[in-house]
A and B are shown apart, each in its own frame.
Chain A
Amino acid sequence: MTYLTRRLLWTFPVLLGVMSLVFLLIHLVPGDPVEIMLGENALPADLSALRSKLGLDRSLPVQYGDFITATLRGDLGESFTSRRPVTGLILERLPATLELMAGAMAVAFALALPLGILAALRHGKWQDRLATAFSLVGVAMPNFWLGPLLILVFAIYLDWLPVNERGGLAHLVLPALTLGTSMAALLSRMIHSSLLEVLGEDFIRTARAKGLAERVVVVRHGLPNSLIPVITVAGLQIGALLSGAIITESIFDWPGLGSLLLESINTRDYPLTQGCVLTIALSYILVNLATDMLYAWVDPRIRLR
């Protein structure tokens, strides 16, 4: 069996495991979830009506079976607060999160590429130390601190950028910077070490020996070869972006999946919470799968393993 087939087949048990864990989550609620949702003063008739509506009056294996088949059909149940299908609510919010993540990814590469390249070319000099300091601080800086700081400087003091609503490109700048900075820090470190390694290889010496300009050596020969591991790390970092989006969306009132998840938690809308968690986890699995496949496609050594 090739690597790709094995990788693809492997995704199914993990998907099933994630669905099972998410199913178990709602059964972890201490006490009766229906009582928690309706409050202490709810009438017994209302309690049992909701219990049967949510299917909580049936045995656990039956509930599990129903949950798995419904999820595979794309039916994530009905939101308790808005009485609308959870899938529809999630699909409404998904574009905003995808927009935010794309913006963050663009910010991450826009910052990381020049910094990483500069640090590798000026290895051991002050530019290298500056880039290293950026990557250390960028990774340690919580995005729920960076976000308010950016709002304070660029939206309040300087009044350059709008905040707190989704709109054109200008609205995306601050949330994307907030979400993308830590990824930029990590990627710049990756690009730095990867490029440094590639620049020490024999084919680079050959390129220099045949008289190519240093710029051509770096851009045409060094950089493309150093970006392969960087792309993998960037793919894996999409998970961090998905999770970071929850916080970033709450800071900027961004109407995405993350803020939907937090709203559902605050209103104890368990079906919606369950749906959001499942959607985010499943997207992450698919992104990981896509990254691995891309990597195998780029690098034949993996594909043929």
Chain B
Amino acid sequence: MKPSTRHLVLTACLLGVFFVIPALLAPWLAPHDPLEVDLKGALEPLGGGYPLGRDDQGADILSRLLYGARISLLVGVGSVAVSAVLGVALGMISGYLGGWVDMLIMRLVDVFMAFPGLLLAIALVAVLGPGLSNVVLALTALGWTGFARLARGQVLGVMEKDYIRAARGLGVGPLRLMGRHILPNIMAPVVVQASFAVASAILAEASLSFLGLGAPPGTPSWGAMLAEGRHVLWEAPLVSLFPGLAIMGVVLGFNLLGDALNDYLDPKRRR
């Protein structure tokens, strides 16, 4: 197996085993109810029937981590899927049509990109109210611009190629040209970007939940778990340690997956 393929398979497997499968199987893998409240058992250390200990409400940290993975997976992949579809569609239209449509869409991108980092998402959730669907909406508002710029740039490059000229010469219509000839040829960088975007979206969801603007109170989101752990940092530092490690591991995993995909999909870098 080539090194680029080996890296890709390895990172994908690690993410699958430590993140995707536990998230999907959380109801069967979790030893306890993640929403359990038992103040008598609050902050119980590791061991016993609670492998990673219990939080300040007495809930099992491992079970909450497993259910939290579901939220991260859902919000991360969900928001990136919507952003990618919206961004790639608008970027392709922009690059293909050019002229005032291109100018209008790209200025809209500029305006959305003028909001640094999480600010737009924070503002949107602040007015729409907390909740996971609003978080997905806010992260989509944040994420589509990157895909639109990328897709537009790729389309401009591909449009110059002979096979597109040939297809046009044969009378292929714009929709078919975009769907059958351009889209497949711009997908590689979009897939790479999507992997990095999932990492950013997971981090953003955790940030919003940490600020109390994401998942509703009590929901076992990793960011919310960190926010709860802050108040018991002195008595029980482990309550903050595990969700922090989980966020870092998954974000690192998707960033490495992006790098591996980049090497694998780029013929010049493939070894």
Is the A/B pair a real complex?
yes
Task: Mark the stretch among A43-51, A225-233, A237-245 that contacts chain B.
Answer: A237-245
Given A148-B229, A277-B123, A140 and B114 touching (CB < 8 A)? Answer: no
CB-contact partner of B124 in A25, A244, A247, A251, under 8 A: A25
CB-contact partner of A18 in B115, B199, B230, B252, under 8 A: B115
Q: Are A148 and B226 in contact (CB under 8 A)?
A: yes
Q: B61 to chain A: closest CB distance in Å?
A: 15
The winner among B114, B203, B247 for most chain A CB atoms within 10 A is: B114
Nearest chain-A residue to B241 (Cβ)?
A: A149
Q: Does A161 contact B (CB under 8 A)?
A: no
Q: Are A265 and B213 in contact (CB under 8 A)?
A: yes
Q: Give Cα A243–Cα B243 distance, bound, in whole angstroms.
A: 22
Q: Give Cα A42–Cα B110 distance, bound, in whole angstroms.
A: 41
Q: Which residues of B contact A238 (CB under 8 A)?
A: 116
CB-contact partner of B248 in A140, A156, A246, A251, under 8 A: A140
Q: Give Cα A155–Cα B126 distance, bound, in whole angstroms.
A: 32
| Interface SS of chain B | helix
Q: Are B211 and A14 in contact (CB under 8 A)?
A: no
Q: Are A246 and B111 in contact (CB under 8 A)?
A: no
Q: A12 to chain B: closest CB distance in Å?
A: 11
A interface, size bucket: 35 or more
Q: Give Cα A261–Cα B121 distance, bound, in whole angstroms.
A: 13
Given A148-B240, A250-B211, A140 and B117 touching (CB < 8 A)? Answer: no
Q: B127 to chain A: closest CB distance in Å?
A: 5
Give a binary string over A124-145; 1 marks a CB under 8 Å from any B CB, 0 the rest. 0000000000001101111011
Q: Are A148 and B230 in contact (CB under 8 A)?
A: yes
Q: Which residues of B contact A149 (CB under 8 A)?
A: 240, 244
Q: Are A145 and B226 in contact (CB under 8 A)?
A: yes
Q: Are A239 and B116 in contact (CB under 8 A)?
A: yes
Q: Does B190 contact A (CB under 8 A)?
A: no
Q: Does B122 contact A (CB under 8 A)?
A: yes
Q: Are A262 and B211 in contact (CB under 8 A)?
A: yes
Q: Are B117 and A239 in contact (CB under 8 A)?
A: yes
Q: Which of A17-38 contact B (CB under 8 A)?
A: 17-18, 20-22, 25-26, 28-30
Q: Give Cα A80–Cα B206 distance, bound, in whole angstroms.
A: 29
Q: B247 to chain A: closest CB distance in Å?
A: 5
Q: Are B199 and A140 in contact (CB under 8 A)?
A: yes
Q: B23 to chain A: closest CB distance in Å?
A: 18
Residue tally, chain B, CB below 8 Å to A: 44
Q: Which residues of A contact B206 (CB under 8 A)?
A: 142, 144
Number of A-B contacts (CB under 8 A): 130
Give a binary string over B228-271; 1 marks a CB under 8 Å from any A CB, 0 the rest. 01100110010010011001110110011000000000000000
Given A26-B127, A281-B114, A243 and B240 touching (CB < 8 A)? Answer: no
Q: Are A29 and B127 in contact (CB under 8 A)?
A: yes
Q: Does A280 contact B (CB under 8 A)?
A: yes
Q: Does B129 contact A (CB under 8 A)?
A: yes
Q: Are A137 and B252 in contact (CB under 8 A)?
A: yes
Given A14-B110, A17-B110, A239-B117, A136 and B255 touching (CB < 8 A)? Answer: yes
Q: Are A261 and B122 in contact (CB under 8 A)?
A: yes
Q: Which residues of B contact A266 (CB under 8 A)?
A: 212
Q: Does A284 contact B (CB under 8 A)?
A: yes
Given A25-B127, A247-B211, A240 and B116 touching (CB < 8 A)? Answer: yes
Q: Are B211 and A142 in contact (CB under 8 A)?
A: no
Nearest chain-B residue to A262 (Cβ)?
A: B211
CB-contact partner of A148 in B123, B124, B233, under 8 A: B233
Q: Does B108 contact A (CB under 8 A)?
A: yes
Nearest chain-A residue to B246 (Cβ)?
A: A145
Given A25-B127, A28-B128, A141-B248, A240 and B119 touching (CB < 8 A)? Answer: no
Q: Which residues of B contact A284 (CB under 8 A)?
A: 114-116
Q: Which residues of A contact B108 (CB under 8 A)?
A: 17
Q: Are A244 and B117 in contact (CB under 8 A)?
A: yes
Nearest chain-A residue to B256 (Cβ)?
A: A136
User: Hey, which bits of chain A sit against chain B, CB under 8 A?
Assistant: 13-14, 17-18, 20-22, 25-26, 28-30, 136-137, 139-142, 144-145, 148-149, 151-152, 156, 238-240, 242-244, 246-247, 250-251, 261-262, 265-266, 270, 273, 277, 280-281, 284-285, 288
Closest 8 CB pairs of A and B: A243-B117, A239-B116, A17-B111, A145-B244, A140-B252, A140-B251, A265-B126, A284-B116
Besides A136-B256, A148-B244, A242-B116, 17 other A-B contacts (C-beta < 8 A): A17-B108, A17-B110, A25-B127, A26-B127, A30-B128, A137-B252, A140-B252, A142-B210, A145-B226, A152-B237, A239-B116, A247-B211, A266-B212, A270-B127, A273-B127, A277-B123, A280-B115
